[in-house]
Structure 1
């Protein structure tokens, strides 16, 4: 037998097997997280330095733009008992924030309970879409302060107008996202389910709803952000305890440091809340973004 008759080799170039190992991938992800965290901390440091430089230069009066240290002291005062005073208006900052988060949770929860079924119906039943979509768009374009006075007239100054305002603010994005997601479900999935004998309700609940779930969760996440931006408006009327009411009272007495401290509390808690929702999305729809 000659060399030409010898069987050809099908061997694969040797590798150490470590490039794609789970340990290597985890180490790479951890390194990336550390790099992004360092970049964010650097950006924060630059912002604080620029803020302090503006204050030191006297560009604006200190009553309008306090120094970062003054804002920190206001944050500490609002979070502790000092000189016999408990936080601000008798409540600690965390208590103000907890009340506001409760209102946001109730408002967004009620909006989701109504908005998801409404969006499903709008996305599937064309006559309902013709009638209801303009109403949803109308509500989506209204700023919260535009109907707050009307809600106060209807429901008084207790909790009801605040919750209703957040419901109305959060309902349109959930409904619109659900309707668009349902309409975007591939027709092949629907036709396959019908070919297997599924009725309209089964197709809606077993095919359309699961396929649209990623976009529905995104709509709810956006609605939470909208409700968060509306909570200060909701708490301008009898909003203490509440982070918006605390900021309103501080504004009345030109306590700019406390106003900024309240805004920082809202922003930081919003970041944590958004991270929580992103975790829920990853757990609920792990197939999202994958082929």
Structure 2
């Protein structure tokens, strides 16, 4: 009588443990490779140093920007962090007003169709305009001080926040709204306790996009009376062909924008851990 083979059991593969050090190491390695290639190209003098200064010259420009010389701080009479804070303060003010008006308007556009039909085309129109197209008008209306710059940043940030909120509200499942109404929620309670919490992921995504638009707009905003300001400093380098200073400005803007985006990502994880976004 044949003996049946016993069924072979395969042990489940052990899940790989996440390696939190792997991503930072990869980023660090890519930076090292980039610096090495940059140094090699600059040393070979493929291009004139005016067009591509070496990493050493850029580092010297950075050191110059954060130190005093003959009693004068950095470039244009301000330290680098003073330029950065001036720009960041303008961006934060423009973004604040964009959030304050954009989120409620997005909710209204999503919940009141007649208003959406009339107002949404204007929001799309503003979204499509390049900043320099209307900056001259803002200077005429509000002057060359910070008011025109904050208005410019507000207009650049307002449409993405409004449209992201609108999309978030329209994506709320109807069952959520019906459940809230069946429990006796009024219109205001429905908005405060169901609509707004459900749209937080979309609102934060809109803020992240708006933050990117604001950073890309800051140089245009600071072309007129933009000192102190990191964009104004970058604009001023063209007069004396200070490529190394311009690169310092670009790197500073990029790193600051990445840091702010990381803060928004952490905020999103803390407020809406169920969204699954990273």
In structure 1, the partner of 2:184 is: 197
Normalised by the length of structure 1, the TM-score is: 0.88
Residue among 232, 245, 248 paired with 1:258: 245
1:74 and 2:99 aligned: no
Q: Report the Cα offset of residue 287 of structure 1.
A: 2.0
Q: CA deviation at 1:209?
A: 1.2
Shift in Å, 1:194: 1.4
Residue 11 of structure 2 is matched in structure 1 by: none
The alignment status of 1:222 with 2:209, answered yes or no, reads: yes
Cα distance in 1 between the residues matched to 2:224 and 2:206: 28
CA distance in 1, matches of 2:24, 2:105: 40
Question: Which consecutive unaligned segments of at least 5 residues does structure 2 have?
Answer: 1-13
Distance apart, 1:158 and its partner CA: 0.5
* TM-score where L is the length of structure 2: 0.92
CA distance in 1, matches of 2:222, 2:50: 24
Which of 119, 136, 150 is residue 137 of structure 2 equivalent to?
Answer: 150
The answer for the alignment partner of 1:279 in structure 2 is: 266
Counterparts of 1:104 and 1:228 in 2: how far apart (Å)?
8
Q: Which residue of 2 aligns with 1:55?
A: 42
Which residues of 2 match residues 149-188 of structure 1 at below 5 A?
Answer: 149-188=136-175
Structure 1: unaligned runs, 5 residues or longer:
1-18
Matched, 1:121 2:105: no
Match of 1:3 in 2: none
For 1:247 and 1:195, the matched residues in 2 are separated by 58
Name the larger-Rg structure. Answer: 1
Q: CA deviation at 1:251?
A: 1.5
Instruction: After TM superposition, give the deviation of residue 69 of structure 1 in Å.
Output: 0.5
Q: How far apart in 2 are the matches of 1:226 and 1:33? A: 31
Deviation of 1:34 after TM superposition, in Å, equals: 1.2
Distance 2:148 2:20 in 1: 42
Q: Deviations over 1:246-285 (max 9, x none)?
A: 1111121100000001111111111111111111111121
Give, in whole Å, the separation in 2 of the partners of 1:143 and 1:98.
Answer: 24
Distance 1:131 1:53 in 2: 57
| CA apart distance, 1:200 | 2.1
State the Cα deviation string for residues 217-264 of structure 1 (Å, max 9, x = none).
111121111111111110111000000111111121100000001111
Partner residue in 2 for 1:235: 222
After superposition, the C-alpha distances for 1:140-189 in whole angstroms (9 at most, x for unaligned) are: 01111111111001111001100000000000000000000000000001
| Separation in 2, partners of 1:280, 1:194 | 30
Partner of 1:288: 275
Corresponding position of 2:4: none
Tell me the secondary structure at the aligned position of residue 273 of structure 2: coil
For the residue of structure 2 that corresponds to 1:90, the secondary structure is coil
C-alpha distance in structure 2 between counterparts of 1:260 and 1:33, whole Å:
31
* Structure 1 range deviating more: 53-62 or 274-283: 53-62
Pick the aligned partner of 1:138 from 125, 129, 149. 125
Count how many residue pairs are aligned between Structure 1 and Structure 2: 267
